[in-house]
Amino acid sequence: MKKPFVNTILISCLSLCAAPVFSEGSGADHAGAEVPDAVIAEQRRTLAENTLFAGFGPQAPRDIDRAGGSNRVRFGTAPDYREMNLCNIHFHESAEHRGGEFTTYVGNGDGHGYGSGYAYSGALSAAELAPFDQEVGATAHGGLEPGDTIEVHYVFTTARVDPGPTLGSCLSDAIGNPQLRVEAQVYVLVNDDAALDFTRLTRLEKKNGLTQAINIPSDTGRPVEYAGSTTGPGYNEKGSPFQVTWSVRPKVAKVSIQSVAKWLAYNPFDEDHAHGVRNLVINPDLLSEIGR
């Protein structure tokens, strides 16, 4: 099935990719076809049942335009990302979060997140949407195309670690409970070499002994910060036990699909495709109150 006109890829830092410890789903992220609303409703019912009175903290992703939430589990806000170590970068096809400039629903996923997300609200030119003659991040449903959206997750930890594949790279034998933070950014892919360069957006440098992503956008709106969890389709029916401070930028930026293809061909995180998404968490019992 041809993907909708503008699937949004939100580049957020915390829907960590499939890892034995920090699991966000399997390599079958995109297997299957769009599913009925009843399947998503059943997944949400099962999630509520499996987390009821189980002590889970607030979950992610969420609608960043809605501040409400009744989950009472509290944990300390992670430091500013510039005071932490960048441990992983990955992205999801379509936005896991909702809000800001990504509010148009694309469609239900298949239980692994494919097709779930929100479309970019801005207009793209015919030139920006021109077909790209290279396969980008191929999956069972085909590769990424101009007009697709991604949510990029820049993941940070207080553990003294080196960046690497999966969220397991954010943990350390020396620190059993590091603080975690995800800086999330949504991008729309365009066939334009003059757009933002993804290899530059993910460039790493050491600063004061800490690994940093030095070019995270600073002009895409004031980030919405909230207490949540790890994400990914592996948590559609169960709660994530990890506590994460999220920082989600509300505006979408255009990124060159050519540069995304180049990054997927070689990066230190072994990423070669876009990951699936977790259903938007809407149960107030599983959400924190934004601003508290």
For 218-266, write each residue's pLDDT tens digit. Answer: 999 999 999 999 998 899 999 999 999 999 999 999 999 999 999 999 9
148 has a pLDDT exceeding 80? yes
pLDDT at 283: 98
5 has a pLDDT exceeding 70? no
Range 167-183 average pLDDT: 94
Confidence class for position 24, pLDDT limits 50, 70, 90: very low
* Residue 3 maps to a domain: no
Percent of the chain predicted with pLDDT > 90: 70
pLDDT at 33: 54
* Residue 61 maps to a domain: yes
pLDDT at 114: 57
First to last CA, the chain: 42
Q: What is the pLDDT of residues 93-126, one digit of tens each?
A: 889 999 999 998 887 877 665 566 777 777 899 9
Structure tokens at 13: 């830092």
Report how far Cα 79 is from the mean position of its chain's Cα atoms. Answer: 20
Residue 262 has phi, psi (to 5 degrees) of: -65, -40
Query: Which DSSP helix (H) or strand (E) runs through 47?
Result: helix 37-51
Q: How many domains does the chain have?
A: 1
pLDDT at 111: 65
pLDDT at 292: 65
Neighbour-count burial of 25, counting CB atoms closer than 10 A to its CB (0-12 exposed, 13-18 middle, 19+ buried): buried
pLDDT at 105: 83
* Residue 248 maps to a domain: yes
Neighbour-count burial of 209, counting CB atoms closer than 10 A to its CB (0-12 exposed, 13-18 middle, 19+ buried): exposed
Q: Could you give the CA distance from residue 275 to residue 164 in angstroms, rounded to a whole number?
A: 16
Residue 142 vs residues 156, 192, 238, 273: alpha-carbon distances, Å: 30, 21, 28, 10
pLDDT at 28: 33
| Residues forming a β-bridge with 275 | 92
13 has a pLDDT exceeding 70? no
Task: Print the domain residue range for 274.
Answer: 9-286
| Residues forming a β-bridge with 11 | 151, 185
pLDDT at 246: 98
| Residues forming a β-bridge with 254 | 188
15 touches 90 (CB < 8 A)? yes
pLDDT at 276: 85
Percent of the chain predicted with pLDDT > 70: 84
* Residue 292 maps to a domain: no
44 touches 111 (CB < 8 A)? no
Number of continuous H segments (helices) and E segments (strands) in the chain: 3, 11
* Residue 96 maps to a domain: yes
29 has a pLDDT exceeding 50? no
* Residue 123 maps to a domain: yes
* Residue 215 maps to a domain: yes
Q: Using alpha carbons only, give the angle 109, 111, 116 rounded to the nearest 5 degrees.
A: 25
Q: Could you give the CA distance from residue 270 to residue 255 in angstroms, rounded to a whole number?
A: 20
pLDDT at 138: 61
- Residues of 232-261 as b/e, b for ≥16 C-beta within 10 angstroms? bbbbbbebbebbbbbbbbbbbbbbbbbbbb
Mean pLDDT of the chain: 86
